[in-house]
Amino acid sequence: MTRPASSFPSTPNPRRGFLALLGAGGASLALGACGSSPAQAKSFPVSMSEAQWRKKLSAPEFRVLRQEATERPYSSPLNAEKRTGLFACAGCGNKLYASRTKFESGTGWPSFWQALPGAVGTRTDLKIGYPRTEVHCADCGGHLGHIFDDGPEPTGKRHCINGVAMDFLPA
C-alpha cells in the first residue's frame, strides 16, 4: 500500500536526513553505540547463545538483529516488496507485519503503520542523543528498527524496519 504524495509531511524530517547520511558513506551497516541489546535485557521465548545466533544468521542479519546495527537505506529488496503476504523475523520466524500495513515512506527502509498483535516489543533508545522508540521481535528480542510518529492513518506511526531483519512469506 502506498501513501499518496500529498499526505507526506511538507517540511523536511531531520531524522530522515540524518538516517540517509548514516548510510551514504558506502558502509553496509552502521553499528549502534555500545550497550546491551534488547535480547540481553530480558529473556525471550526463543533464546540462543551468541555462538548459536552467529551460526544461524548471516553476518548482516547478526549485526542488525543481535548487535542493533542499521542497514544502509535502499539496500533491502524488501523495501520494494509489493506482494500480499507476511513479513517474519529473520532470526526466529515470528510473524511481524502484514503486507496490507506496509507503505512507501521515502526513507529507504521497509515501513509499516502497525505490527501484528503481540509480535513486537518496544523500549526507549537514547543512543543518538534523543529518545527514539526501538522495536524488537517479541519472540527472540532481535532488533528490528524504530517507530516514529510521522506515519499514515489510521495509527500515525511509522515502523521503520531493517529489511535484513525480516523474511517475506508470500500469501
Nearest CA among 77, 87, 98 for reference residue 1: 98
Task: Answer for the pair 120, 90: CB distance below 8 angstroms, yes or no.
Answer: no
User: How far apart are alpha carbons 166 and 145 in whole angstroms?
Assistant: 11
- Based on DSSP, count helices (H) and strands (E) in the chain, helices before strands: 4, 11
Torsion of Cα atoms, 131 then 69 then 42 then 52, to 10°: 180
The residues carrying an active-site annotation are 160
